[in-house]
């Protein structure tokens, strides 16, 4: 069966709405198939009242929300699945961030596990405790109320957490992938910071990080990692470090999840502006028909509540390559 996805023009913000007619607000999330439906989740954003153009980033007063669909087109709002708090002493006090939340299912424990980049009140990135952490939550149901378990810094305390994602392999092993930043305080020879994507294997229950990890040298100075596996290759699509400004995507590939990874250049075809079609990658999911879909977001820094979403099918080549081609409307097999 086919789904017609409208992305809109490259030059505008095409608003997708749910079945109640409300604009979908699910920033930097992902899609998981469970209980016979696709579930699209992400952070419900609001703009900072003192920074209407996005200076300082986006935050939430609500938390992570979820929508459900059987056809990838009609999305019903399912509610808040991981809520922020109005309590002053609560670690989830709003405004804050569950940035780039990602959900995978653990077949052994029968639990849904969510990882994110956690930033405490008032939601400002930093280097102190609670401003650069990985956060984890768990739930018995995909669309239930997730229980926040706490935070950590994978690998070591000197590695600050920025953009992140989750990847679940065919063998059931799962990995937390994140932009690891190390300050001059810990690495005096660096000028001024080191930032590189790292991949860390999770424990069998997916609730903690193990000591097994790798530095992705091909993704030095990159963020917004999106992973997919196809034809025996692992692919990782990434973004440059330009804040809210659009930049040129790159991708790398490997035969083993822990590398070595090979830089493959820009995956976008026809992107004359070299801006990833004025978007940034969010997540890659496979439909039930086996088609890989790249989720991208067009950040609306005038009003973060009105960010929009571009979904593009990934085109794989026979020689271990992939490409993205922008289309105002795409047809996906679901």
Q: Are 67 and 80 in contact (CB under 8 A)?
A: no
pLDDT at 186: 58
Residue 155: name the closest of 128, 127, 184, 176 by CA. 176
Alpha carbon distance 208, 155 (integer Å): 11
Our separate counts of H helices and E strands in the chain read 0, 24
Buried b (16+ CB within 10 A) or exposed e, 276-297: bbbbbbbbbbebeeeebbbbbb
pLDDT at 187: 56
What rounded mean pLDDT belongs to the chain?
94
CA atoms 115, 163, 264, 9: torsion sign: positive
Token digits of residue 139: 């739930």
pLDDT at 137: 98
Query: If you average pLDDT over residues 32-46, what whole number do you get?
Result: 97
Token digits of residue 151: 């935070």
324 has pLDDT over 60: yes
pLDDT at 47: 74
Alpha carbon distance 229, 234 (integer Å): 4
State pLDDT tens for residues 212-252.
999 999 999 999 999 999 999 999 999 999 988 999 999 99
What is the number of alpha carbons within 13 Å of residue 79 lying toward its C-beta?
7
pLDDT at 259: 97
Residue with tokens 């997730």: 146
pLDDT at 302: 87
Question: What percent of the chain shows pLDDT beyond 90?
Answer: 88
96 has pLDDT over 80: yes
pLDDT at 173: 98
State pLDDT tens for residues 104-114.
999 999 999 99
189 has pLDDT over 60: no
Question: What percent of the chain shows pLDDT beyond 70?
Answer: 94
pLDDT at 101: 98
> Domains in the chain, please, with CATH?
2-333 (2.115.10.20)
């Amino acid at each position: 069966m086919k789904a017609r996805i409208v992305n809109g023009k490259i030059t505008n913000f095409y608003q997708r709405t749910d079945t109640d007619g409300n604009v979908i607000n699910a920033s930097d999330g992902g899609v998981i198939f469970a209980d016979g439906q696709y579930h699209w989740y992400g952070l419900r954003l609001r703009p900072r009242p003192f920074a209407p153009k996005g200076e300082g980033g986006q935050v939430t007063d609500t938390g992570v929300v979820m929508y459900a669909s059987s056809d990838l087109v009609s999305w019903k709002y399912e509610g808040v699945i991981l809520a922020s708090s109005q309590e002053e002493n609560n670690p989830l006090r709003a405004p804050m961030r569950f940035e780039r939340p990602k959900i995978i299912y653990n077949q052994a424990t029968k639990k849904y596990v969510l990882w994110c980049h956690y930033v405490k009140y008032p939601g400002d990135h930093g280097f102190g405790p609670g401003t650069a952490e990985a956060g984890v939550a768990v739930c018995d149901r995909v669309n239930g109320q997730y229980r926040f378990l706490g935070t950590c810094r994978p690998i070591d305390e000197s590695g600050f957490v920025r953009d992140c994602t989750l990847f679940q392999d065919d063998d059931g092993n799962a990995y937390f992938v994140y932009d690891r930043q190390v300050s001059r305080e810990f690495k005096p020879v660096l000028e001024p910071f080191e930032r590189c994507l790292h991949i860390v294997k999770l424990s069998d229950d997916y609730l903690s990080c193990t000591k097994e990890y790798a530095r992705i040298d091909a993704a030095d100075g990159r963020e917004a990692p999106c992973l997919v596996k196809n034809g025996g290759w692992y692919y990782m699509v990434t973004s440059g470090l330009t804040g809210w400004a659009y930049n040129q995507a790159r991708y790398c590939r490997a035969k083993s999840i822990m590398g070595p990874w090979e830089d493959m250049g820009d995956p976008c075809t026809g992107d004359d502006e070299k801006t990833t079609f004025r978007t940034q990658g969010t997540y890659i999911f496979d439909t039930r028909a086996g088609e890989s879909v790249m989720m991208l977001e067009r950040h609306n820094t005038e009003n973060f509540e009105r960010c929009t979403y571009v979904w593009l099918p990934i085109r794989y080549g026979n020689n271990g390559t992939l490409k993205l081609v922008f289309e105002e409307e795409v047809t996906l097999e679901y």
